[in-house]
Amino acid sequence: MKILLGAILILALIVIGFCLYKTYKEQNNLARTVKYVLFIGFIIVFFNVVSLYTTSKFVCHFAYSMYFMASDWLLYHLFKFSMEYVGLDFRQYVKRGYMIALLVADSLSIIINSFTEHLYELKEVNLFGGESFYELSVKPFFYLHYAIVLMLVVFCLISLFYRAFKSPRFYRNKYLLIAIVMIALVIMNVFSVTSAVDVSVIGYAVEAVCIYYCAFVYTPQKLLPETMYRVTDNMKIGVLLLDIDGNKLFCNKFATKMFDANEPMIDKKGETLEKWCMDKYGDSKIEFVEDRSFYLNGKEHVLKIQLQRMLDENNIHQGGYFVIQDRTKEIENAKREQYLASHDTLTGVYNKEQFISKSEKYIKRHPDEDLYIICTDFKDFKMINDLLGTKVGDMVLINYAGMLDEMAEKFEVYGRLGNDIFGILMKKEYFSEELFENKAEKYFAETGIETSFPIVKYLGIYEITDREVPVSVMCDRARMAIASIKGDYTNTVAFYDRTMRSNVKYEQELISGLSRAIENEELKMYLQPQTTKDGKLLGAEALVRWEHPEQGFIMPGKFIPVFEKNGLIAEVDKYMWETACKQIKKWNENGHEDLYISVNISPRDFYFLDIYQIFTDLIKKYDISPKSLKLEITETAIVMDVKRQMELIGKLRDAGFIVEIDDFGSGYSSLNMLKDLYVDILKIDMVFLRKSNDEERSKKILQMIITLAKQLGMPAITEGVETVEQVEFLSEMGCEMFQGYYFAKPMSVLDFEKQYL
Ligand code: C2E
Ligand code: CA
Ligand code: CA
């Protein structure tokens, strides 16, 4: 009998040993605890074997002590294992110190029992036909040890059950199995611990196997496919898993839908996606990734189909899986992004970058064609935005782009270069000015704006002669051509020629030289007398000249328009105004108190300067009368914003300045407008005196202006008077002041003083 029992126990030892060996391969916290549990289990069984075979009572005592002591620690670790296994933090829930102290005390008590026998005694009994065994005869103290053991068992069970009922069905078995074996073990133990043959020890082997299996091997049978479904169900990717023969092992929701027999995805030939995949799978052993178009209800879907083969450790084919992604949206987005990057968002035509790159390619590919780069630019587009609102401005641009679309066959490339500027590349032979005729009714379509609104656009044309020039520079040149005619009312089409480039360079030099010119007093004030009919001096107009250190004497016609374009004119004017004031002060000191100087105010000055403040400051600074300053404001400046300008003019007149309308009759002016102008003097432009086809007509208008102005309380001065006849008929018409070469040309201050003072 002993041999049979021993054999069973040794078998148990082998089983536990095997589990222990397997556990050594695992690397984690749980594995460490499992190792302790198994190791102590091993010791328990081992000492059981010893107690079974020994004949020495002392050795048997020792073996039993070890067995009981080991049970304490086994359960301690089992408890720890249970906690860790169910995912609870052992240290957080258990006062380890107290528990270990209790177990150490119990262990000591067990060890000294070999001498004191306060827990139990060993009694030799003869069983099974005379074989001798040692049997335990327990004493009351033993139940203290037993209580500790049971407490630990209960703790273990609580944590295992706690977890079992909180887990999904799949996992529950994993916890319950250990718990049930543990309960069985305890029950067996209760009944057999004191008997000579403790069969419960075999339970340790069973528990060891359970623990090892549950902790490291067991995964619920259905869990894997279930998890696969769960994980892949929400994916917008089709997954199809096949075995080596092409049988479906798994197919997620997305793939199932794509393979749906009632509504299948088919390719151009009408073959279904599923069949295509299966053919590919059977075809060869290779893996691939491919973008292919399939159609669902006629709508194209671009699918990225990927086949991956699965190989085992020995590189033997085990099956494979398809991953199918619908890239339609992605591709659409990419196309959209590309569209946005290359097209103007407002008008939908190419943007600048795209226009340039497309044009560059076209020019390169067609070396023998005669081509134009054309830029179109609306005149005063800012005014359209200001007066009619940016919405209308936007509509005009959209309509204009639409018109270009309509003419697209005449163009090679066209696009919006920015703001109100469009670029066109076209064959020379297709070009005609009529093609670009202004069509207000089309520009303002759907805006509700009267088509009589004066809208004009300029055309700048660069003929491509040098193909090495970058297109962006070609566009600049076309725009240079436009710049050369801006402000010109009759001409709206200009071709680029080489001189324009040197003009631009020249202008650049002027601009960069201005601040130095002001600092070095290169700008000179010239004075042109304003007189009565008889040449009696009344005052003078201040006209600027530039004594350039390199270029010599420069007339204002050359540099004023340049500075007017970029606003630098304000610097010139401020300088001239101050120079004029200084001069007046000097004259005043020399007793010429009745002379005045007439200064020019550029239309642009109103944007950049606080005119009222500057002039009131100047007369204070030089202590001169405002009456000795005449302010020449062109009618263009007033037309830009009549209400605001009239307010300012009113303020200036209230302050005592004499305000004069310059160049009256040269631009927009109408006689009708005269009644709204409250100024001191009307300065009639010299156009009326120029030789023209219809001199009589000119004279009639002149007569009317002079008479009307007089009636409205504004004396007139005529400029550009060159002949005695002109003086005669102008004075007959009622003009009382004159300025012109007939009397004197503009001259330096020195000459002026010599001649007149
Ligand atoms: P504007 O203000 O209309 O000045 C009159 C221009 O006519 C002056 O030309 C003057 O020399 C010229 N002129 C005077 N009498 C006669 C004549 O009998 N026959 C002819 N053919 N021309 C005559 P200038 O000095 O070359 O000035 C040209 C324009 O430059 C001026 O026209 C004015 O618009 C601008 N300008 C001159 N100086 C200044 C200035 O300091 N500031 C501003 N903003 N503009 C100025
Ligand atoms: Ca003037
Ligand atoms: Ca003038």
According to CATH, what is the number of the domain 515-756?
3.20.20.450
Nearest atom in ligand 1 to the alpha carbon of residue 683 is: 3
Q: Whose CA is nearest to atom 27 of ligand 1?
A: 556
Strand 537-548 versus strand 552-554 pairing type = antiparallel
Q: Which residues have C-beta within 8 Å of that of residue 172, sequence separation ≥ 6?
A: 164, 165
Question: Does the pLDDT at position 91 exceed 80?
Answer: no
Q: Whose CA is nearest to atom 3 of ligand 1?
A: 663
Residue with tokens 């139940």: 143
Q: Whose CA is nearest to atom 25 of ligand 1?
A: 543
pLDDT digits (tens, 9 = 90+) for 247-287: 888 888 888 888 888 888 899 888 999 999 888 888 766 78
Highest average pLDDT, of 84-98, 206-220, 373-387, 424-438, comes from: 424-438
Architecture of domain 343-496: 2-Layer Sandwich (3.30)
Q: Whose CA is nearest to atom 43 of ligand 1?
A: 600
User: What residues does the ion ligand 3 have nearby, CB within 5 Å?
Assistant: 662-663
Question: Does the pLDDT at position 5 exceed 60?
Answer: yes
- Phi then psi for residue 592, to 5 deg, are -100, 75
pLDDT in the model for residue 197: 65
Ligand located closest to 664 CA: 3
Q: Ligand 2 centroid vs 693 CA: distance in angstroms?
A: 26
Encode 712-743: b = buried (16+ Cβ within 10 Å), e = exposed. Answer: eebebbbbbbeeeebbeebbebebebbbbebb
Question: Does the pLDDT at position 488 exceed 80?
Answer: no
Best substitution site from 600, 689, 721 to test ligand 1's pocket, by max atoms within 8 Å of Cβ?
600
Q: Ligand 2 centroid vs 501 CA: distance in angstroms?
A: 30
Decide: helix, strand or coil at residue 460: strand
Ligand located closest to 738 CA: 1
Highest average pLDDT, of 79-88, 155-164, 301-310, 363-372, comes from: 363-372
H helix intervals, 487-541: 498-519
Residue with tokens 């500057």: 614
Confidence label for 667 from pLDDT (cuts 50, 70 and 90): low
Mean pLDDT of 74-87: 81
Relative orientation angle of helices 169-192 and 57-86, to the nearest 10 degrees: 160
Mean pLDDT of 32-45: 85
Ligand located closest to 556 CA: 1
Say if residues 289 and 306 touch (Cβ distance below 8 Å): yes
Q: Which residues have C-beta within 8 Å of that of residue 411, sequence separation ≥ 6?
A: 404, 424, 425, 426, 430
Q: Ligand 2 centroid vs 542 CA: distance in angstroms?
A: 8
What percent of the residues of the chain are helix, what percent strand, and what percent coil, each to the nearest 5?
55, 20, 25
Q: Ligand 3 centroid vs 663 CA: distance in angstroms?
A: 4
422 forms beta bridges with 376, 416
pLDDT in the model for residue 460: 95
Q: Ligand 1 centroid vs 503 CA: distance in angstroms?
A: 22
Highest average pLDDT, of 127-141, 209-223, 288-302, 438-452, comes from: 288-302
Ligand located closest to 604 CA: 1
Do 2-227 and 515-756 show the same overall fold? no
Nearest atom in ligand 1 to the alpha carbon of residue 564 is: 44
pLDDT digits (tens, 9 = 90+) for 636-665: 888 777 888 899 999 999 999 999 999 888
Burial class (CB in 10 A: 0-12, 13-18, 19+), 289: exposed
Low-confidence winner among 331-335, 351-355, 450-454, 720-724 (lowest mean pLDDT): 450-454
pLDDT in the model for residue 372: 96
- Per-domain boundaries in the chain: 2-227, 235-332, 343-496, 515-756
Q: Ligand 1 centroid vs 543 CA: distance in angstroms?
A: 6
Mean pLDDT of 171-200: 77
Question: Does the pLDDT at position 581 exceed 90?
Answer: yes
Residue type, 297: N
- Residue 240, sorted as left (phi over 0), alpha (psi -120 to 50) or beta, turns out to be beta
Q: Whose CA is nearest to atom 10 of ligand 1?
A: 746
Mean pLDDT of 361-370: 95
Q: Ligand 3 centroid vs 719 CA: distance in angstroms?
A: 7
Candidates 440, 414, 407; CA nearest to 348 is 414
Strand 493-495 versus strand 457-463 pairing type = parallel
Residue type, 430: Y
Say if residues 301 and 328 touch (Cβ distance below 8 Å): yes
Ligand located closest to 740 CA: 1
Nearest atom in ligand 1 to the alpha carbon of residue 605 is: 44
Nearest atom in ligand 1 to the alpha carbon of residue 525 is: 41
- Residue 521, sorted as left (phi over 0), alpha (psi -120 to 50) or beta, turns out to be left
- Phi then psi for residue 369, to 5 deg, are -85, 145
DSSP class of 521? T
Nearest atom in ligand 1 to the alpha carbon of residue 569 is: 44
Q: Ligand 2 centroid vs 629 CA: distance in angstroms?
A: 13
Nearest atom in ligand 1 to the alpha carbon of residue 741 is: 18
Residues 646 and 652: their CA atoms lie apart, in Å, by: 10
pLDDT in the model for residue 222: 64
User: 504 to each of 246, 476, 604, how far by Cα in Å?
Assistant: 76, 11, 21
Say if residues 11 and 178 touch (Cβ distance below 8 Å): no
Nearest atom in ligand 1 to the alpha carbon of residue 663 is: 3
Q: Ligand 2 centroid vs 684 CA: distance in angstroms?
A: 10
- What's the half-sphere exposure (Cβ side, CA atoms, 13 Å) at 535? 10
pLDDT in the model for residue 599: 98
> Which residue did the predictor score with more confidence, 313 or 696?
696
Helix (H) or strand (E) holding 610: none
Mean pLDDT of 392-407: 93
Q: Whose CA is nearest to atom 45 of ligand 1?
A: 600
Q: Ligand 2 centroid vs 620 CA: distance in angstroms?
A: 24
Best substitution site from 543, 666, 684 to test ligand 1's pocket, by max atoms within 8 Å of Cβ?
543
Question: Does the pLDDT at position 450 exceed 90?
Answer: no
Give percent of the chain with pLDDT exceeding 70: 96
Calculated CA dihedral for residues 215, 219, 220, 225, nearest 10 degrees: 160
Mean pLDDT of 337-356: 94
Q: Ligand 2 centroid vs 610 CA: distance in angstroms?
A: 20
DSSP class of 215? I
Question: Does the pLDDT at position 1 exceed 90?
Answer: no
Ligand located closest to 663 CA: 3
Say if residues 379 and 457 touch (Cβ distance below 8 Å): yes
Residues 554 and 545: their CA atoms lie apart, in Å, by: 6
Confidence label for 170 from pLDDT (cuts 50, 70 and 90): low
Nearest atom in ligand 1 to the alpha carbon of residue 576 is: 41
Best substitution site from 526, 560, 578, 630 to test ligand 1's pocket, by max atoms within 8 Å of Cβ?
560
Q: Ligand 1 centroid vs 710 CA: distance in angstroms?
A: 25
Own/partner long-range contacts of 239-247 (Cβ < 8 Å, ≥24 apart): 239/321, 239/322, 239/323, 239/324, 240/277, 240/321, 240/322, 240/324, 241/319, 241/320, 241/321, 242/281, 242/319, 242/320, 242/321, 242/322, 243/318, 243/319, 244/317, 244/318, 244/319, 246/278, 246/281, 246/282
How many Å is the Cα radius of gyration of the chain? Answer: 54
> Which residue did the predictor score with more confidence, 445 or 514?
514
421 forms beta bridges with 377, 418
Nearest atom in ligand 1 to the alpha carbon of residue 722 is: 18
Nearest atom in ligand 1 to the alpha carbon of residue 685 is: 3
Q: Ligand 1 centroid vs 557 CA: distance in angstroms?
A: 8
Mean pLDDT of 543-562: 93
> Which residue did the predictor score with more confidence, 368 or 221?
368
pLDDT in the model for residue 163: 79
Say if residues 100 and 72 touch (Cβ distance below 8 Å): no
Q: Whose CA is nearest to atom 4 of ligand 1?
A: 543
DSSP class of 245? T
Residues 148 and 154: their CA atoms lie apart, in Å, by: 10
Q: Which residues have C-beta within 8 Å of that of residue 444, sequence separation ≥ 6?
A: 392, 395, 396, 399, 450, 451, 453, 455
Q: Is the alpha carbon torsion for 41, 43, 49, 51 positive or negative?
A: negative
Say if residues 471 and 373 touch (Cβ distance below 8 Å): yes
Residues 386 and 456: their CA atoms lie apart, in Å, by: 16
Say if residues 392 and 447 touch (Cβ distance below 8 Å): yes
Say if residues 125 and 133 touch (Cβ distance below 8 Å): yes
Say if residues 23 and 214 touch (Cβ distance below 8 Å): no
Q: Ligand 1 centroid vs 614 CA: distance in angstroms?
A: 23
- What's the half-sphere exposure (Cβ side, CA atoms, 13 Å) at 410? 17
Residues with CB under 6 A from ligand 1: 528, 543-544, 555-557, 560, 569, 572-573, 576, 600, 602, 662-663, 719-722, 739-741, 746
According to CATH, what is the number of the domain 2-227?
1.20.1070.10
Q: Whose CA is nearest to atom 44 of ligand 1?
A: 602
Question: Does the pLDDT at position 220 exceed 60?
Answer: no
> Which residue did the predictor score with more confidence, 604 or 168?
604
pLDDT in the model for residue 233: 75
Q: Ligand 3 centroid vs 528 CA: distance in angstroms?
A: 12
The mean predicted confidence, pLDDT, of the chain is 87
Ligand located closest to 529 CA: 1
Ligand located closest to 739 CA: 1
Question: Does the pLDDT at position 587 exceed 80?
Answer: yes
Residues 109 and 116: their CA atoms lie apart, in Å, by: 9
DSSP string of 250-312, one letter each residue: EE-HHHHHHH-SSS--B-TTS-BHHHHHHHHHHH-S--EEEEEEEEETTEEEEEEEEEEEEE-
Low-confidence winner among 426-430, 461-465, 667-671 (lowest mean pLDDT): 667-671
CATH topology of domain 235-332: Beta-Lactamase (3.30.450)
β-sheet with 457-463: strand ranges across: 411-418, 421-427, 371-378, 457-463, 493-495
Decide: helix, strand or coil at residue 327: coil
Helix (H) or strand (E) holding 321: strand 317-326
Ligand located closest to 717 CA: 3
Decide: helix, strand or coil at residue 124: strand
pLDDT digits (tens, 9 = 90+) for 121-153: 888 887 767 777 788 888 888 888 888 888 888
Candidates 534, 522, 529, 579; CA nearest to 753 is 529
DSSP class of 747? E
Highest average pLDDT, of 196-205, 392-401, 487-496, comes from: 392-401
Candidates 176, 163, 175; CA nearest to 87 is 163
Q: Ligand 2 centroid vs 456 CA: distance in angstroms?
A: 28
pLDDT in the model for residue 194: 65
pLDDT in the model for residue 49: 85
pTM over 0.85: no
Say if residues 670 and 630 touch (Cβ distance below 8 Å): no
Low-confidence winner among 295-304, 388-397, 435-444 (lowest mean pLDDT): 435-444
pLDDT in the model for residue 591: 93
DSSP string of 538-560, one letter each residue: EEEEEEEEEEETTTEEE-HHHHH
